Amino acid sequence: MIRRLKEDGPSISAISRRTGYCRDTIRKYLYDQEFKTYKPRPEKDKILDPYNKYIISRSSRYEDLSAVVLYEDILP
Structure confidence by residue, pLDDT tens digits, 16-69: 999 999 999 998 888 887 777 889 999 999 988 989 998 889 888 887 888 888
Give the domain range for residue 53: 43-76
CA-to-CA distance for 5 and 38, rounded, in angstroms? 24
pLDDT at 24: 92
Q: Are residues 22 and 47 in the same domain?
A: no
pLDDT bin (cut points 50, 70, 90) of residue 4 is confident
Q: Is residue 9 part of a domain?
A: yes
pLDDT at 62: 83
Neighbours of 51 (CB within 10 A): 15
Domains held by the chain: number: 2
Among residues 34, 4, 31, the alpha carbon closest in space to that of 19 is found at: 4
| Position with higher pLDDT, 32 vs 10 | 10
Q: Are residues 48 and 76 in the same domain?
A: yes
pLDDT at 17: 93
